[in-house]
Structure 1
Amino acid sequence: MKLQPEIDAVIEGPCSLFIKEGKVIISGIQLSSGDQLDITEYNYFTITSINNTEIETDCRLVTTYRSLGWHRIVEEIVGGKILVIGDENSGKTYLSNSLVNLLGGSLIDSDVGQSSLFLPTFISYTEDNSKKLTLVSRTVKGLEFFGNISPSFNPRLHIALILLALKKLSHNKNIIIDSDGWVKGFQAYKHKIELIYSVDPDYIIVFNERLASDFPRDLLRKMKIVRPFPLSTDRDRVKRRKYRSQKYKEYFGKAKVSTLSVNQLLGVPISKNLIRVWDQTLQLVEEKPCSGLYIDRSDLLGLLLALTYKGEVVGAAMVKDIKEENNQIDILTPVENYDGAIMGEISLNEDFTEKRVRIKRCCE
């Protein structure tokens, strides 16, 4: 395969490629004459040719097009806090991973709906700056628990957790923040503006020129506008949900049954289906009259949890059974050491499809 300068070629893995002549960049990894790269992932990757290049490869060539120039944008960045903003399927996660490969440093994955580093509903971060083709292959350094799959359910909590992760990574020279894909509508705009002013990034990479034009003028000096990935990855709502289910399935496939006390998660059990919490009663059956709080028992089964140890989030669990008479909750988790739990607002069924659940007041 021969590539001319400033041409991007989209290939599909798994496959291998050998650079016979020239220089290319793939996911922020620079390859020159004599270099070989083995791609094990079933995914699309973009090869950017820096000069006249000849490649030996068994990769399937999907298409070629005039370079998006992402590598030139990166060359203009000298380091600091870099916030990447873009729509779903724009290529922001691919570019974020490329930035780690090219600049080093750490990365915060704040896309709670289509998480790469860890599970959906979590904000995760990594200090693994080794050369990796994908973000998902990097080692997780730490976690924060949001508990839902869209920042729209609690925009300020989402930002607060990003700031908490930033504080823990403050010793890093470079910090890349891969934001969520919620960019449409006024509330999404407000969230992004508040995120920008809270993070105070040195650079803002935006995949949407219209969105960038709506931002306050004082942000323009920090802004780098890039063209989005031109091919449709065809990840619609159904496929995004399937992606999340697969992430849960892989994680809990390594899990074992463990236990929590009812007190650690819900409160003091009074009797079956009745728990004392926050100086009120929590009812687990839909019977009237109802006073205090209510959540259906079936919604608690499969409830996604964050497990904590010494004040830090260390992993995830899901509720398997509730045994009030023994003050015991059976959970499924691969985590061995934990001393507490945080409830999410997502419950998983047997095939790891999610539904939203919440504790309600009886009058609702």
Structure 2
Amino acid sequence: MNKELIIEGPCKLKVIDGQIKIIGIDLQKGESITIYDKKTYTIVYNENTKMEMDCKIINSNLSLNWDEKAQEIFSTGGTVILLGDTDSGKTYFATLLSNISFPHVMILDADVGQSTLFLPAFIAALKPRDRSLSLEDKGFDRIDFFGDITPSVNPRLHVNKILRLYETVPQESLTIIDTDGWINGFKAMLHKFELIYLIDPDYIVIFDNKIKDLLPSNYRNRTVLLKRIDLRKDRYARKIHRISKYRKYFNEAKEVKISAENLIGSKISDILYFAWGDYVQLISEEPCIGYYIDLDTLKGALLGIIKDGEIIGAALLKDLRDNYVNVLSKTSDFTGVMLGYISLNDKFEERRIRFRKCKS
């Protein structure tokens, strides 16, 4: 009979006799694995298994059966949407399912708040190259830029971005869509309903039976309910995770000079530009013409960079001077930029770009 326990790193684990499974990775007698960060993992083993480890044991009395559920899903294949609250286990199960399904799997990371494959405010797709304890920093095959860390600012745009990515990546035996934790409230559930109707998944993995009761009746027989573990990160920890991703990415970037016209249109004066078929004003004064963008919050804007009509990476607006904009980017080989809803201060903390339509 299989047993389960939750361990926390950093630590090292070695199988002395028998075998274990850790997030879908098989370890046989004599094999070992090192966990380098302070993350939690579930180990599945039987009573005859012997192992050595210096890991912290969080819980040794479990019966989650996530491995069995993942194996059942992979045996039939198709498209899987993961629905659950923040920190319910969606990304962990996506990684487990990916390892079990490897190499016949594609992952879509649609969680713009706690992104795994790329930066926050982006969605990304990846065909994994190996089995891994974490999908973090594994790169991406395609990305798109949503521009905010919550889909609530524009739910329909978020769904359309996911659908576009889903339709353009190569189809594998199993496609996993890891969604955000925005599930509370009428707008949140409408957002998830629209995603379900457009994707038409074969499985909907949920971590709370209340979600099943809210789903359209014709989709309830496609749900797989998983027991959840409450190992929640607080809001501050999620913020620190985002900051660390921004800092790591842009610390490896360089300054690139681009035409201001690529970002905010043709320059009329130091404070007035023409873009989107209307005027863009950079200081708040009356009469206000067209649109107003606050220059202080525009500096530090998180941007999507474009080449051949596709988003290929991220940039950070450093300064706006004369007819040029200085941005931080890992590449200078791009043809355009896309402005989102947020900017970063010098500590890589998010703030909203103040933007409004002038009164007629």
TM-score in same-fold range (> 0.5)? yes
Identify the residue that residue 232 of structure 1 maps to in structure 2.
231
Asked whether the 8 Å contact 2:118–2:137 carries over to 1, the reply is: no
CA RMSD of aligned residues (A): 1.5
**Divergent runs of 4+, >6 A:** none
Q: Distance in 2 between matches of 1:217 and 1:292?
A: 46
Structure 1 residues 37-65: Cα deviation after superposition (integer angstroms, max 9, x where no partner): 12223311111224532111122222212
Asked whether the 8 Å contact 2:70–2:96 carries over to 1, the reply is: no
**1:129 CA drift (Å):** 4.3
Structure 1 residues 137-189: Cα deviation after superposition (integer angstroms, max 9, x where no partner): 42311110000111111111111111111112243221111111111111111
**1:242 CA drift (Å):** 2.0
Letter in 1 for 2:95: N
- Which residues in structure 2 correspond to 1:275-286 (within 5 Å)? 275-286=273-284
Q: Distance in 2 between matches of 1:128 and 1:272?
A: 47
Q: Distance in 2 between matches of 1:102 and 1:51?
A: 22
- Which residues in structure 2 correspond to 1:258-337 (within 5 Å)? 258-323=256-321, 325=322, 327-337=323-333
- Which residues in structure 2 correspond to 1:1-364 (within 5 Å)? 5-77=1-73, 78-104=76-102, 105-228=105-228, 230-233=229-232, 235-323=233-321, 325=322, 327-363=323-359
Structure 1 residues 313-346: Cα deviation after superposition (integer angstroms, max 9, x where no partner): 11111111111x3x10000111231111000100
Asked whether the 8 Å contact 1:11–1:59 carries over to 2, the reply is: yes
**1:67 CA drift (Å):** 2.1
Q: Distance in 2 between matches of 1:50 and 1:180?
A: 34
Q: Distance in 2 between matches of 1:276 and 1:186?
A: 38
**1:357 CA drift (Å):** 1.5
Q: Distance in 2 between matches of 1:37 and 1:277?
A: 54
Greater shift in the superposed pair: 95-104 or 241-250: 241-250
Asked whether the 8 Å contact 1:25–1:50 carries over to 2, the reply is: no
Greater shift in the superposed pair: 257-266 or 49-58: 49-58
Structure 1 residues 28-87: Cα deviation after superposition (integer angstroms, max 9, x where no partner): 112232322122233111112245321111222222122211011112112111111111
SS of the residue corresponding to residue 307 of structure 1 reads strand
Q: Distance in 1 between matches of 2:277 and 2:191?
A: 34
SS of the residue corresponding to residue 227 of structure 1 reads coil
Q: Distance in 2 between matches of 1:269 and 1:65?
A: 65
Q: Distance in 1 between matches of 2:22 and 2:129?
A: 16
Asked whether the 8 Å contact 2:142–2:169 carries over to 1, the reply is: no
Letter in 2 for 1:265: L
Q: Distance in 1 between matches of 2:342 and 2:84?
A: 25
> How many residues in Structure 1 have an aligned counterpart in Structure 2?
356
Asked whether the 8 Å contact 2:273–2:280 carries over to 1, the reply is: yes
Asked whether the 8 Å contact 1:206–1:212 carries over to 2, the reply is: yes
Q: Distance in 2 between matches of 1:216 and 1:231?
A: 27
Greater shift in the superposed pair: 289-298 or 41-50: 41-50
Identity of aligned residues (%): 38
**1:246 CA drift (Å):** 1.4
Asked whether the 8 Å contact 2:281–2:291 carries over to 1, the reply is: yes
Q: Distance in 1 between matches of 2:230 and 2:93?
A: 15
42 and 336 in structure 1: CA distance in 2 versus 1, 3 angstrom threshold: farther
358 and 167 in structure 1: CA distance in 2 versus 1, 3 angstrom threshold: farther
SS of the residue corresponding to residue 338 of structure 1 reads coil
Q: Distance in 2 between matches of 1:129 and 1:311?
A: 26
Q: Distance in 1 between matches of 2:97 and 2:245?
A: 24
Q: Distance in 2 between matches of 1:132 and 1:335?
A: 28
Structure 1 residues 60-119: Cα deviation after superposition (integer angstroms, max 9, x where no partner): 222212221101111211211111111101111000011110012110000000101110
Structure 2 gaps of 5+ residues are none
SS of the residue corresponding to residue 113 of structure 1 reads coil
